[in-house]
Amino acid sequence: VSGKYETSPPAGEDRFRAQLSLSYCRSSCSAGIHFPRRGCNYPAEIIENGKMREKTLTMDTLNPQVKAVEYAVRGPIVTKAGDIERGLQQGQKHPFTEVIKANIGDSHAMGQKPITFLRQVVALCSFPELLNSPSFPEDAKQRARRILQGCGGQSLGSYSASQGVDCIRQDVAVYIEQRDKGVPADWDNIYLTTGASDGIVSILKMLVSGQGRSRSGVMIPIPQYPLYSAAISELEAVQINYYLDEDNCWALDINELHRAYQAAKEHCHPRVICIINPGNPTGQVQSRKCIEEVLHFAYEENLFVMSDEVYQDNVYSPDLQFHSFKKVLYEMGPEYFNTVELASFHSTSKGYSGECGFRGGYMEVLNLDLEVKAQLVKLLSVRLCPPVSGQAAMDVIVNPPLPHEPSYLQFHKEKSAVLGALAEKAQMTEQTLNTVPGIKCNPVQGAMYAFPRIFIPPRAVEESLGMSPDMMYCLRLLEETGICLVPGSGFGQREGTYHFRMTILPTTEKLKVLLEKLRDFHIKFLKEYASLEEPKR
C-alpha cells in the first residue's frame, strides 16, 4: 500500500483555530485507504471493498458530556507551545530560543530537585534488595520495611485494598492529628487516592443526582481550578459560581455565597460547596474567620463541604497561616463537628515535594452516613486501588524524618530550601508585575501561582475575532516571546475583566527572564493598540 499526506493548514490566526479543532488533514492513497495523522478526524468514513463504512465514534455520536469538558491548563495554548518547541528542536526560526512553560504546577518539570528521603524510601520499596545496601539510611529502611509488610506478598507490585494500604492510612491519620494540634483523626475515614483529583471526582460522583430543578448544584469559586468545572460538565451537574473578591486579595465573601446560593435554588438543588485553600489560581490564604463563616453557611443550608487543601504547605506571607477546615470545624463545637459532612484533600504533587508523577494523595471524609460509606468503598473498588508507589510517596510526606533520626537534617534543609525559594519568587513575581502599566497583581500569599489582572485595550478586544481577548493575548505572548501562560478565561473571571495564570515554579533566573519579557511584551502590546494610559484599578 502506498500513500502520501497532503496537508495545507491555514496560517496565522486561522491556523490556531485549526489547531483548536484538530481537523486539518488530507490524504490520497492508491488503495483508497486513509491513514490519518495524529489528531486527524477527517474523513468520518473509510472505503472498504468499494463501500463506505461510517465510523462508530464520531463527533456526532461522542458523549456530549465529554465534548463539554474543558481543561485550560493543558488546553490549546499548551498544544501550540509544544508545536513551537518541536519546531525549535528541528531548526525553525523564532524570535526566541526556548519555550518557557509557566502554565502548570509541575515542580520537577521546572527544575525542582526531588526530596532525597522520599526517593530513598520509594526506591527501597520498589527494589527491596537495596535494603541490604549501606548507601541508604536506617530511617528510610525502617519506613520501607513497614510499607512492604503492608503490601500483598511484601511487594509494591501487588494491589492494595481499595482504600489504600492500612499502615499508610494510619500514618495519614497521625499526621492530620499532629497538624491540627490534637483534633482526633480516625484512619477508617482516610482513603488514599490517585492524586487529589481522583478523590474530588469520586466525591462529586456520589453527590450528583436528580433531574431538572432537582439536579445537584455544585458551588465553586470563580476563578477556579478547571478540574471542578470539567468534572461538573462530565457528571451533568449544575455549576454554581460564587465570585472571589479580587479587590480584597481574592477573599471569600460570605454575602456572595448567599447570593449565589439563593439564585441557584431557582433552577437546581445546591448540595455541595467546594473551597480551594490556599487558592488555585489566585494564591490567596483564607482567614480562620472566613473558614468559620463558610462552615456555618454549609451547616445552615445543609451543604456537603469539599475542602481542597493540596497547597497547605505553600504559605509564604509571614503574617498568615494555613487553617484546615477540619480543625476549624472541631473548634466550632460538637454540634458542627459531628454533623457537617466534610471531605478534605491532599496530594504528593504540591507542597515542597512536587511529586506529580507518582499520583499520590488522600482524602479524609467526615460524618458520612454508614450506608453511603459502604457505597463509597464500592465506587473506589471499581478502579481497584491507587498506584501503590504513589501511596508510598504519600506516606513519606505524612511521616517524614524526626529530629532524632539520621535523615532529618538533610530533609529539613531540602524542604526549607524549596519553600524559601518559592516565597522569594512569590514576592518577586508580585512586585515585578505591579511595576508594569496595565497589570495589577494581588499578593501571592500561597500556592504556586499568580493570577494578575491585565488591561486589554478596547480595540484589541474588538480584534480578538471570537476568541476570548485573554486567549488572544496569551497566544500573541507565546508566539512573540516563547512564554506559555494560561488565559484567565480558562479559570473563570468576572465579565469584562481579563487575567492570566502563571506558575512561580521556574528557577529564579528563568523567572526573572520571564517577567522581563512579559513586561516588554505588555508595554509593546499597549502601544500597538494606542493606549499607554494607566487603567483604572
When pLDDT is cut at 50, 70 and 90, the band that residue 175 belongs to is very high
Query: CA angle 35-37-39, nearest 5°?
Result: 130
When pLDDT is cut at 50, 70 and 90, the band that residue 15 belongs to is very low
Residue written as cell 473506589? 380
Give the pLDDT of residue 64: 73
Which residues constitute the domain of residue 521?
Answer: 68-111+410-531
When pLDDT is cut at 50, 70 and 90, the band that residue 467 belongs to is confident
Residues 422 and 302 in one domain: no
- Please state the length of the chain: 537
Give the pLDDT of residue 97: 84
pTM: 0.83
What percent of the chain clears pLDDT 70, i.e. is strictly above it? 87
> Of 207, 203, 275, 201, which Cα lies nearest the Cα of 238?
207
Residue at 490 is within a domain: yes
Residue where a domain terminates, one of 398, 418, 447: 398
Residue where a domain terminates, one of 398, 422, 450: 398
Residues 357 and 447 in one domain: no
Peptide bond into 223 cis (omega under 30): yes
The count of structural domains within the chain is 2
What percent of the chain clears pLDDT 90, i.e. is strictly above it? 61
CB atoms within 10 A of CB 64: 11
3-state helix, strand, coil in the chain (%, to 5): 45, 15, 40
CA distance 139 to 121: 9
Residue where a domain terminates, one of 366, 398, 430: 398
Residues 376 and 448 in one domain: no
CA distance 363 to 169: 10
Residues 344 and 366 in one domain: yes
Q: Look up the CATH number of the domain holding residue 96.
A: 3.90.1150.10
Residues 191 and 88 in one domain: no
Question: Which cell goes with 401?
Answer: 524524618
Residue at 30 is within a domain: no
Residue at 44 is within a domain: no
Residues 186 and 303 in one domain: yes
- Checking if the pLDDT of 24 tops 60, the result is no
Q: Where are the alpha helices (DSSP H) in 400-535?
A: 408-433, 458-462, 469-481, 508-528
Residues 296 and 420 in one domain: no
- Provide DSSP, 161-221: -TT--HHHHHHHHHHHHHHTTT----GGGEEEEEHHHHHHHHHHHHH----GGGSEEEEEE
Report the interhelical angle of 388-398 vs 138-149 (nearest 10°).
Answer: 130
Residues 240 and 330 in one domain: yes
Classify residue 493 as left (phi > 0), alpha (psi -120 to 50) or beta: beta
Q: Which helix (H) or strand (E) holds 58?
A: none
Q: CB of 73 within 8 A of CB of 451?
A: no
Give the residues across from 343 on adjacent strands.
Answer: 306, 365
Residues 76 and 134 in one domain: no
Residue at 31 is within a domain: no
Residue at 14 is within a domain: no
What would the pLDDT profile of 350-378 be if each residue is shown by its tens digit?
999 999 989 999 999 999 999 989 988 98
Q: Look up the CATH number of the domain holding residue 137.
A: 3.40.640.10
Give the pLDDT of residue 159: 85
Residue at 281 is within a domain: yes
Residue at 365 is within a domain: yes
CA distance 11 to 424: 41
**How, if at all, do strands 45-48 and 51-54 pair?**
antiparallel
Residues 369 and 420 in one domain: no
Residues 91 and 152 in one domain: no
Buried/exposed code over 83-101 (b: 16+ C-beta within 10 A; e: otherwise): ebbeebeeeeeeebeebbb
When pLDDT is cut at 50, 70 and 90, the band that residue 5 belongs to is very low
CA distance 151 to 148: 5
Give the pLDDT of residue 51: 67
Best-predicted range by mean pLDDT (4-8, 383-387, 428-432, 486-490):
428-432
Residues 267 and 145 in one domain: yes
Question: Which cell goes with 280?
Answer: 488555585
Residue at 35 is within a domain: no
